């Protein structure tokens, strides 16, 4: 009986102004910390510490809400602690499920496993275009007869150029690698705002991807046909719609330089760039037509 009256007596002392709010809360948390293991059974020490840290703001609010509840402050506080611990367990479980989900998907991504069938959100593995080309990787290209057209085409695709490729193509254009890099850097400065927009959107798509995974596994971890499961399923549906919309927007953002930007870097007219790229396109179409005509019929 003496133990039961401790918290109630503390509250009365606080209510009568015998102790201040800070002292009252400190003594209250001291009693809760001492009694929590026996109240909640055997738990990991770290879990109990996390719970008490999470509990403190709720105890702070509970003191103000205890008015004419029809029960002693001791009983009222015990009910608050028990309800809070159930909520803490649920949130902790959902957090662990989410963390496990993210790291599982990350492990597939880092190790290169085939996981498209295991996750309906997973993207297809990127195709390796350099397989079997290791011996030719550092060989320079032959000299071209139309270096300005090829240079314009390179600058059009500046975003995808590697240092190795630039080193190989520079002799074919009769230029130094440093000169091509200088033109690319000037072009990057002109396109910096668009590049940043694409980068930021990719980061948001990546974040939204894991949000959808989180909602999916939280729904699976929730009790079947419960309101909580329904809530996470609704969040998942909204998240998937948002993810599809963001991916569509990303596909419509072009990382290639505009003809006007290329013309500004090279110091030529936009019409010259337009004409050069049109000629390259026509030549490419003729090559494709020739390959199709010479291909054996099946």
- Specify the pLDDT at position 237: 92
Measuring CA to CA, how many Å separate 231 from each of 1, 45, 97, 110, 226? Answer: 44, 32, 16, 32, 9
Average pLDDT of the residues in 210-216: 83
* pLDDT tens digits for range 273-290: 999 999 888 888 887 777
- The pTM (predicted TM-score) of the whole model is 0.46
* CA neighbor of 104 nearest in space, from 236, 214, 191: 214
Listed ranges 27-36, 134-143, 228-237; the one with the highest mean pLDDT: 228-237
pLDDT band at 115 (very low <50, low <70, confident <90, very high): very low
179 contacts: CB under 8 Å, gap ≥ 6: 170
CA atoms within 13 A of residue 286's CA, in its CB half-sphere: 6
For residues 32 and 204, what is the distance between their CA atoms, to the nearest angstrom?
42
For residues 274 and 280, what is the distance between their CA atoms, to the nearest angstrom?
10
For the chain, what are the domain ranges?
Answer: 2-90, 135-191+257-281, 193-251
Locate tokens 């009252």: which residue? 24
Locate tokens 């109630």: which residue? 8
Lowest-confidence segment of 36-40, 75-79, 148-152, 194-198 by average pLDDT:
36-40
223 against 233, higher pLDDT: 233
The phi, psi pair for 50, rounded to 5°, reads: -60, -40
Six token digits for residue 180: 């091509």
* pLDDT tens digits for range 23-65: 888 888 887 777 766 655 555 566 677 777 778 787 878 887 7
């Amino acid at each position: 009986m003496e133990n039961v009256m401790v918290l109630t007596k503390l509250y009365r002392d606080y209510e009568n102004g015998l102790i201040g709010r800070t002292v009252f809360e400190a003594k209250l948390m001291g009693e809760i910390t001492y009694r929590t293991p026996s109240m909640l059974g055997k738990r990991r020490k770290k879990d109990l510490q996390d719970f008490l840290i999470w509990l403190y703001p709720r105890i702070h609010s509970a003191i103000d809400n205890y008015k004419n509840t029809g029960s002693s402050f001791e009983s009222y506080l015990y009910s608050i602690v028990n309800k809070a611990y159930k909520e803490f367990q649920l949130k902790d479980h959902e957090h662990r499920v989410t963390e496990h989900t993210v790291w599982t998907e990350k492990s597939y991504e880092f190790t290169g496993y085939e996981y498209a069938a295991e996750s309906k959100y997973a993207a297809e593995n990127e195709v390796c275009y350099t397989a079997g080309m290791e011996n030719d990787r550092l060989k320079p290209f032959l000299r071209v007869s139309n270096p300005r057209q090829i240079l314009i085409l390179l600058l059009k695709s500046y975003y995808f150029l590697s240092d190795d490729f630039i080193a190989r193509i520079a002799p074919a254009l009769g230029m130094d690698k440093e000169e091509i890099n200088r033109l690319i850097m000037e072009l990057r400065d002109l396109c910096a705002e668009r590049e940043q927009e694409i980068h930021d959107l990719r980061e948001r798509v990546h974040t939204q991807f894991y949000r959808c995974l989180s909602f999916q596994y939280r729904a699976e971890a929730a009790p079947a046909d419960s309101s909580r499961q329904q809530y996470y399923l609704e969040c998942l549906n909204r998240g998937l719609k948002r993810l599809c919309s963001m991916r569509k927007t990303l596909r419509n953002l072009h990382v290639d330089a505009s003809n006007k930007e290329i013309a500004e870097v090279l110091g030529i007219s936009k019409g010259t760039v337009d004409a050069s790229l049109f000629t390259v396109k026509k030549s490419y179409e003729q090559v494709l037509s020739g390959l199709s005509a010479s291909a054996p019929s099946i």
